[in-house]
Amino acid sequence: MLLAACSRGPQPGAVLDEAKLAGRDGKSFPHAAEDYFHDMDGALVLSPQEVAGRNMWIVWTGGNDRLWDHMTDFTFGAFDLLKSISSHPSQGYSRANRWEYLGLVNEPCFGKASGPDKARHGLWLDVRSKDCAPDPFEDATKYPGVAIGARGKPLGDGSTLPVGSYYGEATGIVGLRLFPNPAFDEKAAKAWDAEKYYTDPQYYNRQDLVRPYRVGMSCGFCHVGPSPVNPPSDPNAPAFANLSSSVGAQYMWVDRLFIHNANKPEGQKNYMYQLAHSFRPGAMDTSLISTDNINNPRTMNAVYDFMARMGTAKQLWHEKLSGGELDNKQFNDYIASGPLSEFFDKASGTVRTPHVLKDGADSVGLLGALNRVYLNIGLFSEEWLLHFNAVVGGKTVTPIRIADAQKNSGYWQATEAGTPNTALFFLKAAQPDRLKDAPGGNTFLAEDATTVERGKAVFADTCARCHSSKAPTPPPDLGLEPQKCAGVGYLACFKRYWGWTQTEAYKSPMRQIVLAPDFLQGNYLSTEARIPSTLLRTNVCSPLATNALGGNIWDNFSSSSYKQLPSVGTVTLNDPFTGALLPYTMPAGGRGYTRVPSLIGLWSTGPYLLNNTVGPFESSPSVASRMKVFDASIEQMLWPEKRERDAELGDKLPGTIDRTTQRSEVVVPAGYVPDALQPLQGTLHRWLPWLVGAGEDITLGPIPKGMPVNLIANLKLRAESDDVGDKLAHVRNVGELVLKLKADLATAPKDASDQELRAKFANLREPMLRLSKCPDFVVNRGHYFGTAEFNQQEGLSADEKAFGTEPVLSDDDKRALIAFLKTF
């Protein structure tokens, strides 16, 4: 029995992280309070606790360098952060053009590598400027790293692999830190060849290759960006004063980051690139690793006005916690009295909480939401990765338990201890960025006062019901008490609320609120309400996300109230091959809703919608470029007919479908082929040439140019119900698809055109749609408020029609509204 248990490998709840294995608990990782980033965020004066909170946001990675090292294996060599931070000539990108190519923030005080660095194992890494003070977080005496594996041991060439600091070393990119790889022992050091690592696929695609460093990622990597009100003159060479901790990584090219050779033909032929290419700059599928087999890229949030946001949570969003949800830390665990102690009632298990993720799933309190992010970027990956198959899925997902992290992870313990300081930092520092405060901003605010006043009235009537945290008090007979409207009662409450906002009884007092001179002060410009997809009509892939459902990976980080949300009903989608209307019934249990975003800084945060699909992209963070994007994006929002249309189906769709840009294949390089299949590769190529390439890489395809990316990306690889009948039906559906796929691709001519191959895939339409976890392919539709499109009722479901019609704004009203929106 003991041998059987051992053969199963590591088991959830019974593994330790590297810190614990080295005898380190959370108390051995005190958070740094050096005010190194003083000039950021407007050079605010911060308390030591607030400084420590910002430092944690920007340099604390919590041991997740282990995960990002493994990601190279999970992506079959396509993703490699150690290459992303390099400047080797073979790559075609370096520190000099990092902003334009990757959209990553170059850290001040560094220069471009001019050649291989012998002290860094021949790698081409950014070089620290001699006229800058040392990075205090690299002090291994004050912040001793985790001595595990080869760290601190000789490498056989007279050198020793350092243990380093638990903050790692700066890489020259904000939010990425460099750590000695504990697997880089004497044997690995002898096999290491830096030049081949950059230039020889046979070498760098070896699954047994051990790199000398691992790269860790902080929260700041996805959230630090150029300040809208103090942008750098050269975005490749910002000063700290040009950077904001809260604006979000709006310019990051995730496809280029995740596919290291995306600028080369072989990289773009990789279907993984085609998938990542559906992520617009500044958007990322946060469930990419703990995959739910739904491609739903979402913008990397700007974090504004925490004080107002918490006020909205306290007023409106009271949600019940139970079971493992109660293991989330609350402010009450750190303070005994004061305003922050009033957000959790232990006796009833009620938390007053912001809704953080786009689907409103993070709903266990602010600290729990912050802590979950660290897990999602790899903290305690020893445990996390046991609950799913990373990237590819196909395995039953189980919850990661907070109680296990609290017991078995020193890094988690340190993170829980530090996030209250991060919250304090944002309560002070995440202030709105107003256009009037930006250089030259007033030149874009030239509309006369009468036009702006008219825009205020339009905003009050059309937008404020979702996009203002200041509002009239609902009449008692609506029954909108927060406790009654959580969970199962939410949708009925929302419908009553929406009906009230369509009346003059709401609009008249709302106009007075908007016209008040202090309307924007302390206004989060969002209610944080969960809007049903039947009303919003935007792409439903994000609302269909399953990670936070009961029994799924983030079970402990979503409230019981979230898990009890009712179905929003039936939405109307489009067939990706014909454009025909398709009804689709949304499931219950948390899915079907989108949290209202804040409009703070709207002028600086285009393109729009949760996936950045409405509006163009400009790589410059200047005020003029931001306003150029704002003007084009807000026009597409208010005049939907100006939005991009699909290249294949045109006006048969209400928008565009993300399609493959060229013929591609899913490629598993020979070095990553599982050991059990390697002896069979030559035989497989002879008998199945459509599956196994001549070079003995395994290739799945070809996938023709112009195919809807999500037709493949959203395939449900496993049954997600315990019902025996559902499981049998799923097996039958998968079998039908595999047989048809095999027959169709095997019979395709060797020189088949993309059009001929698309015809083969069209034959697979029914089995692929049956297996789709999200059969919605139009990415830029919806949010038609104030437009004639909202009132187009033909083909809509009864659930969509139930919200009635809305007044259509005139062009003059829309222009006036835009004038007011600029002031946000």
pLDDT of residue 669: 59
Q: Which two tokens stand for residue 734?
A: 């998968």
Structure letter (DSSP) for residue 808 = P
Considering the chain, what percentage of its residues have pLDDT values greater than 90? 82
When mean pLDDT is compared across 146-155, 449-458, 689-698, 770-779, the lowest value belongs to 689-698
Instruction: Say if CB 692 and CB 684 are below 8 A apart.
Output: yes
When mean pLDDT is compared across 24-28, 543-547, 745-749, 798-802, the lowest value belongs to 745-749
**Rounded Cα distance, 471 and 511, in Å:** 10
- Helix (H) or strand (E) holding 583, with range, is strand 581-585
User: What is the rounded average pLDDT for all residues in the chain?
Assistant: 92
Instruction: Say if CB 78 and CB 272 are below 8 A apart.
Output: yes
The pLDDT confidence band at residue 691, using thresholds 50, 70 and 90, is very low
Listed ranges 22-31, 286-295, 752-761; the one with the highest mean pLDDT? 22-31
pLDDT of residue 697: 56
Look at residue 376 and tell me whether its pLDDT is greater than 90.
yes
**Rounded Cα distance, 709 and 664, in Å:** 11
Q: Does residue 781 fall inside a structural domain?
A: no
The pLDDT tens digits for 623-651 are 999 999 999 999 999 999 999 999 999 99
> What value does the mean pLDDT take over residues 333-337?
94
Residue 202's Cα: distance from chain center in Å?
A: 32
**Tokens 């112009």 appear where?**
706
Q: Does residue 220 fall inside a structural domain?
A: yes
Residues 6+ apart with CB under 8 A from 5: none
pLDDT of residue 2: 42
**Rounded Cα distance, 582 and 44, in Å:** 53
**Rounded Cα distance, 102 and 105, in Å:** 9
Q: Which two tokens stand for residue 501?
A: 């906002």
Sign of the torsion formed by the C-alpha atoms of 221, 226, 232 and 235: positive
**Rounded Cα distance, 228 and 250, in Å:** 11
Q: Which of 368, 373, 306, 363 is nearest to 333 (CA)?
A: 368
Instruction: Say if CB 72 and CB 79 are below 8 A apart.
Output: yes
Look at residue 6 and tell me whether its pLDDT is greater than 60.
no
**Rounded Cα distance, 87 and 95, in Å:** 6
Strand runs (DSSP E) across 436-540, as ranges? Answer: 530-532
pLDDT of residue 699: 63
Q: Helix (H, G, I), strand (E, B), or coil: what is residue 125? A: strand
Q: Which two tokens stand for residue 781?
A: 């539709």
Q: Does residue 578 fall inside a structural domain?
A: no
pLDDT of residue 447: 85
Q: Where are the alpha helices (DSSP H) in 537-600?
A: 560-563
> What value does the mean pLDDT take over residues 308-326?
97
Residues 6+ apart with CB under 8 A from 73: 207, 672
Look at residue 688 and tell me whether its pLDDT is greater than 60.
no
Which of 282, 299, 316 finishes a domain?
299
Which of 770, 788, 810 finishes a domain?
770
pLDDT of residue 765: 85
pLDDT of residue 460: 98
Backbone dihedral angles phi then psi of residue 664, each to the nearest 5 degrees: -145, 170
> What value does the mean pLDDT take over residues 412-439?
97
- Helix (H) or strand (E) holding 703, with range, is strand 698-703
pLDDT of residue 717: 75
Backbone dihedral angles phi then psi of residue 228, each to the nearest 5 degrees: -65, -30
> What value does the mean pLDDT take over residues 686-711?
67
Considering the chain, what percentage of its residues have pLDDT values greater than 70? 95
The pLDDT tens digits for 53-94 are 999 999 999 999 999 999 988 887 889 999 999 999 999 999
Distances (CA, A) of 689 to 366, 544, 776: 53, 37, 33
Look at residue 681 and tell me whether its pLDDT is greater than 60.
no
When mean pLDDT is compared across 4-18, 363-377, 685-699, 774-788, the lowest value belongs to 685-699
Sign of the torsion formed by the C-alpha atoms of 187, 188, 191 and 192: negative
Q: Where are the alpha helices (DSSP H) in 433-503?
A: 449-462, 464-467, 490-501
Q: Does residue 179 fall inside a structural domain?
A: yes
Q: Which two tokens stand for residue 762?
A: 């069209």
**Rounded Cα distance, 114 and 451, in Å:** 55
Backbone dihedral angles phi then psi of residue 92, each to the nearest 5 degrees: 85, 5
pLDDT of residue 244: 98
Q: Which two tokens stand for residue 806?
A: 């809305």
**Rounded Cα distance, 407 and 409, in Å:** 6
pLDDT of residue 696: 53
**For the chain, what is the domain count?**
2
Look at residue 684 and tell me whether its pLDDT is greater than 50.
no
Q: Helix (H, G, I), strand (E, B), or coil: what is residue 244? A: strand
pLDDT of residue 122: 98
Residue 702's Cα: distance from chain center in Å?
A: 29
Sign of the torsion formed by the C-alpha atoms of 207, 212, 216 and 222: negative
The pLDDT confidence band at residue 50, using thresholds 50, 70 and 90, is very high
**Rounded Cα distance, 568 and 589, in Å:** 10
> What value does the mean pLDDT take over residues 539-548?
97
Q: Which of 301, 226, 229 is nearest to 620 (CA)?
A: 226
Look at residue 242 and tell me whether its pLDDT is greater than 90.
yes
**Rounded Cα distance, 83 and 748, in Å:** 38
Range of the domain at 692: 664-770
Residues 6+ apart with CB under 8 A from 101: 92, 93, 253, 256, 263
Q: Does residue 481 fall inside a structural domain?
A: no
Look at residue 690 and tell me whether its pLDDT is greater than 70.
no
Q: Where are the alpha helices (DSSP H) in 170-305?
A: 186-191, 194-199, 201-204, 254-258, 265-268, 271-276
pLDDT of residue 671: 54
Helices 490-501, 504-515: crossing angle, 10 deg rounding: 80
718 compared with 411, residue with greater pLDDT:
411
pTM: 0.93
**Rounded Cα distance, 789 and 731, in Å:** 41
- Per-residue burial over 178-202, b = 16 or more CB atoms within 10 Å of its CB, e = otherwise: bbbbbbbbeebbeebebeebbeeee
**Rounded Cα distance, 815 and 824, in Å:** 15
The number of residues making up the chain comes to 824
Q: Helix (H, G, I), strand (E, B), or coil: what is residue 190? A: helix
Q: Which of 625, 588, 629 is nearest to 607 (CA)?
A: 629
Q: Which two tokens stand for residue 373?
A: 């992010």
pLDDT of residue 461: 98
**Rounded Cα distance, 128 and 108, in Å:** 9
Q: Does residue 373 fall inside a structural domain?
A: no
The pLDDT tens digits for 707-752 are 999 998 998 877 777 777 777 777 777 777 777 776 776 777 778 8
The pLDDT tens digits for 569-587 are 999 999 999 999 999 999 9
When mean pLDDT is compared across 5-19, 79-93, 132-146, the lowest value belongs to 5-19
Strand runs (DSSP E) across 310-403, as ranges? Answer: 318-320, 344-345, 350-352
Q: Does residue 126 fall inside a structural domain?
A: yes
Q: Where are the alpha helices (DSSP H) in 142-270?
A: 186-191, 194-199, 201-204, 254-258, 265-268
Task: Tell me whether residue 465 is exposed, middle or buried, using C-beta atoms within 10 angstroms of its C-beta: 0 to 12, 13 to 18, 19 or more.
Answer: buried
Q: Which two tokens stand for residue 22?
A: 């080295």
Instruction: Say if CB 513 and CB 522 are below 8 A apart.
Output: no
**Rounded Cα distance, 756 and 356, in Å:** 45
The pLDDT confidence band at residue 674, using thresholds 50, 70 and 90, is very low
Which of 770, 795, 810 finishes a domain?
770
Task: Tell me whether residue 557 is exposed, middle or buried, using C-beta atoms within 10 angstroms of its C-beta: 0 to 12, 13 to 18, 19 or more.
Answer: buried
The pLDDT tens digits for 651-671 are 999 999 999 999 988 766 555
> What value does the mean pLDDT take over residues 447-463?
96
**Rounded Cα distance, 768 and 754, in Å:** 19
Look at residue 770 and tell me whether its pLDDT is greater than 50.
yes
> What value does the mean pLDDT take over residues 108-121?
97
Q: Which two tokens stand for residue 522?
A: 């302390």
Q: Helix (H, G, I), strand (E, B), or coil: what is residue 277? A: coil
Q: Does residue 209 fall inside a structural domain?
A: yes
The pLDDT confidence band at residue 413, using thresholds 50, 70 and 90, is very high
pLDDT of residue 253: 97
Q: Which two tokens stand for residue 108?
A: 């001040």
